[in-house]
A and B are shown apart, each in its own frame.
Chain A
Amino acid sequence: GAVVSQHPSWVICKSGTSVKIECRSLDFQATTMFWYRQFPKQSLMLMATSNEGSKATYEQGVEKDKFLINHASLTLSTLTVTSAHPEDSSFYICSAAFQGYNEQFFGPGTRLTVL
């Protein structure tokens, strides 16, 4: 199967700063990438769907200006949490969809802690 990497695996930042998380497809070109957020003991909630070269589609209730998604190539999508606050602390996980595969392949996730 495909391999999806995520960087960093964890990050601690001060309130008000911005944090960028990278999601890379290592061996295939991804048709679509997805960003999820997961709070402790809860399920994955889709934040946005991202296609290369076009604007991301955000889910209802997700602030576009706060969670900036850039999908610059078929193998890289980035999520920037702008002006992070403690309530943004969460586990952020990306996934990628590839032609020929039914399942999405997930990155290992990024644990964000905002102090």
Chain B
Amino acid sequence: AQKITQTQPGMFVQEKEAVTLDCTYDTSDPSYGLFWYKQPSSGEMIFLIYQGSYDQQNATEGRYSLNFQKARKSANLVISASQLGDSAMYFCAMREGISSARQLTFGSGTQLTVLP
């Protein structure tokens, strides 16, 4: 079974608008972490935001926020005020357990295109 599901292969958004990238996950481990990474065409993986399973509040990092709905097992990324430089592939990932030394499982990704 897929542990991380991203159902939007591609998304378009107008510059300066907000966009939500969907991510659902599946785990039976009560301790887990959820991550979003951005991968521009250069290939580097850029860490955006982290949400721990026990965190009470949704994580925010600048223009990025994570809409964490634990009961629904969703961890959607919201990008506010989109910029042309936000055009990239976005991956949702999950780590089961507390230790940072545990592996990440990635979703299939969403290609975001920001239109001028």
Contact = CB atoms under 8 A, between A and B. Distances in A.
Contact of B44 (A98, A103, A108): A108
Given A43-B108, A102-B52, A109 B43 contact: yes
Interface string A36-61: 00100011101001010000000000
Nearest to A93: B45
A105 interface: yes
B35 A103 contact: yes
Contacts, number: 57
24 contacts: A32-B100, A38-B43, A43-B106, A43-B109, A44-B45, A49-B103, A91-B43, A95-B45, A95-B104, A97-B100, A98-B100, A99-B100, A102-B33, A102-B35, A102-B50, A102-B52, A102-B100, A103-B100, A104-B47, A104-B104, A106-B37, A108-B43, A109-B43, A109-B45
Interface of A: 1, 31-32, 34, 38, 42-44, 46, 49, 51, 91, 93, 95, 97-99, 101-106, 108-109, 111
